[in-house]
């Protein structure tokens, strides 16, 4: 019953957020400046051509009918047609999603491989009385967590691609070209995760059950694997949704710096040229991805730490 209530509550919340995202992306075209029909027909087109374009886009229909048509198209996998290329938006997204997905996966891997161990090591050294390390850790991670991602990307490109010429400065055709962008979007969330994991690990190390385990001469390796590491994982999982959203937002900016032909670059270009169907499609896809990842994180947290089911009700 507890799991049923938990899953039902998460499903209701998920459905509400997805409906909100769908509604906002639909309103995007109507709230944006300019006339979409004029953009399709051409700025020099006469009124008759504009009216024909408006009827073809369904903009002559009442608002509620346009919304129903939009939602119906989503269920059919139809996100509309690009104003700029006259191609289906689904094809535009399919062509550009690869580099962005690669960037997100590599960025998340770096966060897991760097942020978690850095936080645990920081907690252990802090607890052992290394005051200098605590100051250095707090200062460095605080600085990394506050630097804008476009500055990190620019610095990495200048240092590793332009000055030392170790890695490509642009492109999306190889794994080497993805290293610098992945590092650029992973630095801030990895630093934030490390800070949170360090605080949580210090709390666990001072908890009564860890003290009891120490008093029973439990081997250090077993102590950390059985008690410290699982609690640190829970802390990181709790930040998983926010971290993924940060990666997606960072990818939009960082892809511009490294000239990667992904969803971020396409989104910015489509905004500049007024290609609203492509903007709608990409925003809807990224929004759905963030929401679904958050829902998945909630379920995993419920499995790893059942106490979160009670706290999240």
* Over residues 7-29, mean pLDDT: 88
Q: What is the pLDDT at residue 241?
A: 78
For the chain, state the CA radius of gyration. 24
* Over residues 225-241, mean pLDDT: 78
Q: What is the pLDDT at residue 76?
A: 92
Q: What is the pLDDT at residue 181?
A: 93
| Range from 232-246, 252-266, 299-313 that averages highest in pLDDT | 252-266
| For residue 312, pLDDT beyond 60 | no
Distances (CA, A) of 99 to 27, 72, 85, 102, 265: 28, 29, 20, 5, 10
Q: What is the pLDDT at residue 22?
A: 93
Confidence of residue 280 (pLDDT cuts 50, 70, 90): very high
Distances (CA, A) of 180 to 117, 162, 274: 21, 12, 30
* Over residues 249-269, mean pLDDT: 89
Mean pLDDT rounded to a whole number for the chain: 86
Token digits of residue 38: 């004029």
Each residue's pLDDT tens digit, 81-92: 898 888 999 999
Confidence of residue 308 (pLDDT cuts 50, 70, 90): low
Q: What is the pLDDT at residue 297?
A: 85
Instruction: Kindly report, as residue ranges, where domains of CATH 1.10.3720.10 are found in the chain.
Output: 97-261
Confidence of residue 93 (pLDDT cuts 50, 70, 90): very high
Partners of 283 in beta bridges:
none
Q: What is the pLDDT at residue 313?
A: 52
Q: What is the pLDDT at residue 68?
A: 92
Residues in the chain: 313
At the topology level of CATH, where does 97-261 sit? MetI-like fold (1.10.3720)
Q: What is the pLDDT at residue 20?
A: 93
Q: Phi and psi dihedrals of 88, rounded to 5? A: -60, 140
| For residue 49, pLDDT beyond 90 | no
Q: Tell me what percent of the residues of the chain surpass a pLDDT of 70.
A: 97
Q: What is the pLDDT at residue 41?
A: 79
């Amino acid at each position: 019953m507890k799991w049923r209530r938990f899953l039902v509550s998460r499903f209701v919340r998920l459905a509400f957020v997805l409906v909100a995202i769908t509604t906002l992306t639909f309103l995007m075209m109507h709230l944006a400046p300019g006339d979409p029909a004029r953009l399709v027909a051409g700025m020099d087109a006469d009124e008759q051509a504009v009216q024909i374009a408006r009827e073809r886009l369904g903009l002559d229909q009442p608002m509620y009918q346009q919304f129903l048509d939009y939602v119906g198209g989503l269920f059919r996998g139809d996100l509309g047609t690009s104003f700029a290329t006259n191609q289906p938006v689904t094809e535009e997204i399919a062509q550009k999603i690869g580099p962005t997905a690669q960037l997100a996966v590599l960025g998340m891997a770096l966060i897991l491989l760097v942020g978690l161990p850095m936080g645990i090591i920081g907690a252990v050294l802090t607890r052992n009385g290394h005051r200098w390390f605590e100051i250095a850790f707090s200062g460095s991670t605080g600085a990394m967590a506050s630097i804008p991602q476009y500055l990190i990307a620019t610095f990495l490109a200048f240092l590793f691609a332009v000055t030392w010429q170790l890695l490509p400065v642009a492109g999306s055709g190889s794994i080497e070209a993805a290293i610098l962008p992945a590092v650029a979007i992973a630095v801030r969330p990895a630093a934030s995760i490390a800070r949170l994991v360090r605080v949580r690990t210090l709390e666990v190390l001072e908890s009564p059950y860890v003290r009891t385990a120490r008093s029973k001469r439990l081997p250090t390796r077993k102590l950390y694997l059985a008690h410290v590491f699982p609690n640190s994982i829970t802390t990181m999982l709790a930040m998983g949704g926010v971290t993924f959203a940060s990666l997606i937002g960072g990818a939009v900016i960082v892809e511009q710096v490294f000239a990667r032909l992904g969803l971020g670059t396409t989104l910015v270009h489509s905004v500049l040229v007024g290609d609203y169907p492509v903007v709608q499609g990409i925003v809807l896809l990224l929004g759905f991805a963030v929401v679904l990842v958050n829902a998945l994180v909630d379920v995993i947290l419920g499995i790893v730490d059942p106490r979160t089911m009670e706290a999240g009700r």
